[in-house]
């Protein structure tokens, strides 16, 4: 997480020509700054310098020489913005789905740009999510949890979009011995056309500590969803809907849990520009203008491949809510 955050912070500052850009991100440098963390800091410094040395392969300018620990710590510390309703803010989740990363499952690197409270740009790197069709369902399964055992030399994908263009793209990650060459096998992605819950594939988080699986199961039953849920780490769930491999993503937070903007900004925009719909569980748009949290969110969030299916899921939420509070 620290290495990715430092790398993205440095590359944004250097290539956008602005050393004072606003970045909202998950990590801080306090732990790394402690004397007892010197070995860990050295590992981070080496990882960042190794990554930055690859910048020319992507048409980017890296530093002229290896960076020291103070420069790396400074890059991490610069990601201290709280966002808000005005101005431009980059939003970064350096490793979304850390448990998935540790397990060799799905994880993502997510970067979004928010202008005056609206998400306007999103990039989602998914190293364990191949570009092949139906990759999520073809991945090896452990229970209902999705895990990909990638063949040697086969990589994942990166998806990206921009607000108000109604288009999103996907391309394979750059092979280690190649350079970025546009269009680099980029292709348009689009949400599924399925609007029947009985045929829909439903995604939810793997962990139940901040997501109410039992309520989601009730909603699925009331909506007529027949398939068992695919439990997937990270914003790969949003990516699966954007590229048409799943139709529904539901998450209902447990009491006291507040969703953070870096866990959703990129994924929400991807789904919307690929033709889908994302709201809270009451049917209202998500508000990214209130700082690092998605404030005033009604019960949870619903992402669907289209408006007709979305309306059916929202209706099932209300029916399930009413029956659970009788």
| Annotation: binding site | 26, 93, 96, 263
Alpha helices in the chain (DSSP H): 2-16, 30-33, 38-52, 69-77, 98-103, 135-138, 213-223, 236-242, 265-273, 307-324
Which token pair is 23? 């970045």
Strand partners, 142: 145
Q: Per the residue annotation, which of 28, 74, 98, 287 is the catalytic one?
A: 98
Q: Within a 10 A sphere around the Cβ of 67, how many other Cβ atoms?
A: 17
- The span from the CA of 3 to the CA of 208, in Å, is 28
The vertex-119 CA angle with 116 and 124, nearest 5°, equals 150
CA dihedral 217, 220, 224, 225 (to 10 degrees): -100
φ and ψ of 215, to 5 deg? -65, -40
Asked if 246 contacts 203 with a C-beta cutoff of 8 angstroms, the reply is: yes
Binding-site residue set for Mg(2+): 26, 93, 96, 263
- The span from the CA of 12 to the CA of 309, in Å, is 38
Q: Per the residue annotation, which of 1, 105, 212, 280 is the catalytic one?
A: 1
Reported residue count of the chain is 326
134 is catalytic: no
1 is catalytic: yes
- The span from the CA of 253 to the CA of 244, in Å, is 25
- Tell me the catalytic residues: 1, 98
């Amino acid at each position: 997480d620290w290495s990715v955050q430092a790398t993205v912070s440095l590359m944004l500052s250097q290539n956008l020509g602005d050393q004072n850009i606003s970045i909202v991100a998950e990590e801080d440098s306090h732990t790394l700054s402690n004397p007892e963390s010197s070995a860990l800091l050295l590992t981070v410094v080496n990882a960042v310098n190794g990554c930055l040395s690859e910048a020319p392969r992507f048409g980017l300018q890296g530093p002229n020489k290896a960076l020291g620990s103070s420069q790396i710590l400074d890059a991490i510390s610069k990601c201290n913005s709280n966002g808000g309703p005005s101005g431009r803010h980059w939003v970064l989740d350096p490793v979304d789905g850390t448990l998935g990363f540790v397990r060799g499952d799905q994880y993502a690197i997510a970067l979004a740009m928010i202008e005056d409270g609206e998400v306007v740009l999103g990039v989602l790197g998914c190293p364990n999510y191949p570009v092949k069709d139906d990759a999520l369902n073809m991945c090896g399964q452990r229970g209902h949890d999705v895990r990909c055992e990638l063949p040697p030399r086969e990589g994942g994908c990166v998806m990206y979009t921009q607000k108000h263009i109604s288009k999103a793209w996907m391309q394979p990650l750059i092979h280690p011995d190649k350079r970025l060459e546009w269009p680099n096998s980029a292709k348009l992605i689009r949400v599924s056309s399925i609007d029947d819950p009985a045929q829909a594939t439903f995604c939810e988080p793997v962990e139940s500590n901040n997501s109410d699986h039992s309520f989601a199961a009730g909603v699925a039953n009331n909506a007529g969803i027949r398939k068992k849920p695919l439990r997937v780490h990270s914003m790969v769930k949003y990516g699966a809907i954007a590229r048409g491999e799943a139709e529904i993503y539901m998450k209902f937070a447990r009491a006291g849990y507040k969703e953070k903007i870096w866990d959703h900004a990129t994924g929400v925009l991807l789904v919307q520009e690929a033709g889908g719909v994302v709201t809270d569980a009451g049917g209202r748009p998500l508000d990214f203008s209130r700082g690092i949290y998605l404030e005033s969110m009604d019960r949870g969030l619903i992402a669907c491949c289209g408006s007709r299916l979305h309306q059916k899921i929202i209706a099932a939420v209300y029916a399930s809510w009413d029956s659970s509070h009788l």
